[in-house]
Amino acid sequence: MSDSSTPHRLTDLPTWQLSRAAARSHQVLHERLRIAGVTGYEFRVLAVVADLGPVSQTELGRAAELDRRDVAVTVRDLEARGMVQRTADPAHRQRKLVSLTTSGERTLDDLERVVAAVQREVFGTLDDAEMSTLLGYLSRLGG
């Protein structure tokens, strides 16, 4: 992964290597998502809603690690495209719950295949044991 034109004072830094790997994976992922017709935020919202079921926008933002404004815009866009719906929360009349529609479920199924292909492309040089080790390290570093 090191470039012979990059000085070793940089390539010897784990933060440098991690940043380069993150930039590459981010670029590949977002290009594939763009081709599939969604943004990274839209994928995150669909994935979190699928995992949590009907969820408030506050809970959704927390779980997807998105701020309130980004959640509101993303949910509005997905709702306009028929992928999510907002319904009244029976426990809190003023709060809306976000859930996937059938179209959103189908879209997420397609996106999961796209994301799996990205994982293979980005991490394909790692065997299963190396991938498990990497995930362990990244989880520890990510807090």
- In tens, the pLDDT along 3-43 reads 567 788 888 888 898 999 999 999 999 999 999 999 999 99
Q: How many residues does the chain have?
A: 143
The model's pTM: 0.87
- Residue 17: strand, helix, or coil: helix
Whether 71 and 61 have beta carbons less than 8 Å apart is answered as: yes
Identify the residue whose tokens are 């919202």. 45
pLDDT tens string 43-53: 999 999 999 99
Query: C-alpha distances in angstroms, 45 versus 26, 121, 132?
Result: 17, 23, 26
What whole-number distance in Å separates Cα of residue 98 and Cα of residue 75? 8
